[in-house]
Amino acid sequence: MKDLYYVLMYNKLGNAKQCKTLIKHGNIEINGHVVRNPYYQVHYKDHLTYQNQELQAQPFFYYMLNKPKGYLCANHDQKEKCVVELIDHKDCFCLGRLDRDTTGLLILTNDKNLKKLLLPQNHIPKTYLVETKSKLVKEYIIECQKGIIIDGNKRCLPAYLEIQDDHHALITITEGKYHQIKKMFLSLGNEVISLKRISFGKIQLDEHLKEGEARLFNQQEIELLCRSLHENVSTSFFKMEHRRSKVIERIMTN
């Protein structure tokens, strides 16, 4: 749910101050009743009107894209293809970026309030499927958990690595340094061949989406995404990783 004044802004009724004034002057009706609280929480099923004109209760778009290789996470570029070309609404932005050659889950939206999720202190967990050139070894698990040093002196936050087979693993990170995962494996003496993001916070990539395909979020996914603004989604991740660390220590001693 969104603040009423914020919904009005996306219905193009003015800036924040102008929309709050409209509300306080009794110009907005919700479900047949005048509402004067700018912070009234609008439900997507609410019926909004302004001077007998029907408004959109949810004027926001949330896209899930299975990003293909060769696309930039940008709206415009004179030379390169951009991910916004793959969706219907061109005023959306990328909620977090993927490298040009990285595939997988990319969220695009016009809801600027969600940019808060990208603040460094939020530590949103992001999980990737990684393919490596050389064989993966169990020592990588502990090194990731300790925090791998990249770029000479920058220690990454702890990451969780789950080895699938000799050359494939799932890795979860809670920050987004430039080319971070590729640099992490270089520090381990290995090399990333391919990288695919499969989750962002609690949002999972739809397995039915082919590369290059996109779809709008369902209501449950919208609520999960927006709820992340009001809770620390990384807390449960670190609690889970702490429990797993005990198991990993036993693995390393076998």
Give the torsion sign (CA, 43, 46, 49, 53).
positive
Please tell me which residue in 46, 99, 111, 206 is annotated as part of the active site: 99
* Cα 83 to chain centroid, rounded: 15
Question: 106: which residues sit within 8 A by CB, 6+ positions away?
Answer: 64, 65, 66, 67, 73, 83, 94, 95, 96, 98, 197
Task: Give 105's strand partners.
Answer: 66
DSSP strand pairing (71-72 vs 192-200): unpaired
Q: How far apart are CA 70 and CA 99, in angstroms?
A: 9
Q: How far apart are CA 42 and CA 9, in angstroms?
A: 13
Task: Give 81's strand partners.
Answer: 71
Half-sphere exposure for 109 (CA within 13 Å, toward CB): 22
Active site residue 77: no
> Can you tell me which residue has the tokens 């996470």?
73
What are the residue numbers of the active site?
99
